[in-house]
Structure 1
Amino acid sequence: MSKGFVFRLQKVLDIREEKEEESKRFFRESQKALNEAKIELSNMESNANKYKGIKPNEDVVYQKIKRTYLKALELGIKDKKKEVIDKKEEVEYRRNDLLNKQIDRKTVEKLKEKEREAFFKEIDRVEQINNDEFALYAYMRNLKGGEI
């Protein structure tokens, strides 16, 4: 047993850790895309609020251009809201995937810890048996030495 502790499922643990890291990366990317979509939506809504209404001294051509721009913004806002909803669903999916990958990794880590504890308990048990045997030999040697 001088070899030391070797976990026979180490490759499985390594693979699960890699999958978890990949899942973390996908989650971060999805979260970033959601935040960017929210910012774009906010900008579009602020532009829509900025150009709403008719101000004095605006000519008819400018009003028509502004109205066309507002219509385009409204369509863009509608599409962007759908995109934000889709991104939220993707983030939620990625979050659940990440949680599952973490559970898988932790399961194998628990197995590793249990095997490590069993390994060291076995080493301690063998060591204790050897110590008991040495003590018994010493006792017997002292006992025989006293009788002769």
Structure 2
Amino acid sequence: MSKRDRDRLAAAGGTAPVVQIAAMVIGAVFLVFGVAGFIPGITSDYDELSWAGHRSGALLLGVFAVSILHNLVHLAFGVAGLVFARSAATAKTYLLWGGAGYALLWLYGLAIDHHGPLNFVPVNSADNWLHLGLAVTMIASGVLLGRLAIQPDRP
């Protein structure tokens, strides 16, 4: 079955290539955590949630620094995952470029002072480890699962 046929099959309700499922799952997880960042109790110190910056004292799950901007980025990234999961090629693109973006965010988190004005996202050490894990997972998924989805037909 060709890549085009697999994409059509997935669009018609058939079995989607696993790269599409991966993008959909990752997108859904980002949506869940984007919403969770706005829920008191799941986000501790919710009264300290600010638009952006290192002074936002809210912590998702009591661990990850969040702000309104940070939560909105998670929501947007989640929607993008669901939209890009519509075809194997765009799902692979989402995973690779999203992973690259998280690798850059990891480097950014390592390079800045977490208590300084450059920490506008905001990030902390827990976020840095999470961003590294996301980068590795997304890039590996895009490469390995994307390769499975676009293999040439075999006799």
Shorter chain as denominator, the TM-score bin is 0.3 to 0.5
Query: What TM-score does the superposition give when structure 2 sets the normalisation length?
Result: 0.37
The alignment's TM-score, normalised by the length of structure 1, stands at 0.38
Greater relative contact order (Cα 8 A, min sep 6): structure 1 or 2?
A: 1
Higher helix share: 1
